A = this chain, B = another copy of it.
């Protein structure tokens, strides 16, 4: 019998990507997709690419209504909105995969500093951070999975082996990341127009991006002590993809081969992390359309720094794909069900 899934807030790019993946998932029946703006319109009228792949129409349904019909719900809603809806599903005994930031942080005060007053503080403490490569077992038994942010996914996976092994000085970490435009969503704003983005490249929210506390929380957990990072996001003129270039100073001596082995060992058996061959670096175009995180690395002996490169598709491993990976874990399915898809290159 198939898992009955619903998507709340399904008309953005992340919601569309969830719709696309779940429509092709062999063990899932997608039973409802909600959208206030597009209620009454067919999904395939809003996203012609999905014509023939789903017959669903967007509905503007209450959480109670959706909860009565599904086993698992994906919340692809803005920060601040999810926390008003997730409790209904949890109370109804349903599994929730929340793609917003509302349940990602462990410290309520930090959430309220960077975001807003939290309205679901009780559940806040019960969620699990949905990065399967680090928290697989906890996720399996959770009812509320906080799906990680796109930048944090690339950065945490990139630094976990080095931090966990005490290889680098946490205080020296600099995360320089660049994201495709789909990360900004489908809302029509001047900054996302083709003419504003194409041919351009710029940094934004330097030192102020809301993913910073999430990155610091998880990296600090890996290091065993709290510290701050410098995080600089950039906007790339591409549709999909995040590349994080991660800098840190070595605390121990290591050879290039030793560094490579350490990463390969850490991710041995992981289906969605690929360690590049030595001296090759990941390219976002080699993961686009897939749930992979590709990781490469270099030692700069002259400055005693390690440079880690980490690439994902921000809509898949950075959002919808990882959400489905979490759903598979929560529902007892094969972790890669519906996700064993090759990147689309060129």
Copies of this polypeptide in the complex: 4
- Given contacts A178-B178, A200-B283, A285-B200, A195 and B346 within 8 Å (CB-CB): yes
Give Cα A188–Cα B50 distance, bound, in whole angstroms.
24
Q: Are A49 and B240 in contact (CB under 8 A)?
A: no
Q: Are B201 and A182 in contact (CB under 8 A)?
A: no
Q: Are B238 and A298 in contact (CB under 8 A)?
A: no
* A198 CB, nearest partner CB in chain B, Å: 6
- A202-226 interface mask toward B, CB cutoff 8 Å, 1 = contact, 0 = none? 1110110000000000000000000
- Given contacts A193-B193, A195-B182, A228-B302, A309 and B203 within 8 Å (CB-CB): yes
**A27 CB–B CB distance under 8 Å:** no
**A113 CB–B CB distance under 8 Å:** no
**A245 CB–B CB distance under 8 Å:** yes
Q: Are A234 and B245 in contact (CB under 8 A)?
A: yes
* A339 CB, nearest partner CB in chain B, Å: 12
* A224 CB, nearest partner CB in chain B, Å: 19
Give Cα A24–Cα B343 distance, bound, in whole angstroms.
11
- Choose among B16, B207, B238, B344 the residue that contacts A200 (Cβ–Cβ < 8 A): B238
Q: Which residues of B contact A239 (CB under 8 A)?
A: 194-195, 198-199, 346
**A129 CB–B CB distance under 8 Å:** no
**A243 CB–B CB distance under 8 Å:** yes
Question: Besides the contacts A174-B247, A202-B311, what 18 more A-B pairs have beta carbons closer than 8 Å?
Answer: A24-B342, A47-B345, A48-B286, A50-B343, A51-B276, A52-B274, A186-B193, A192-B194, A194-B196, A195-B239, A200-B286, A201-B284, A202-B243, A207-B299, A207-B300, A234-B245, A236-B237, A237-B237
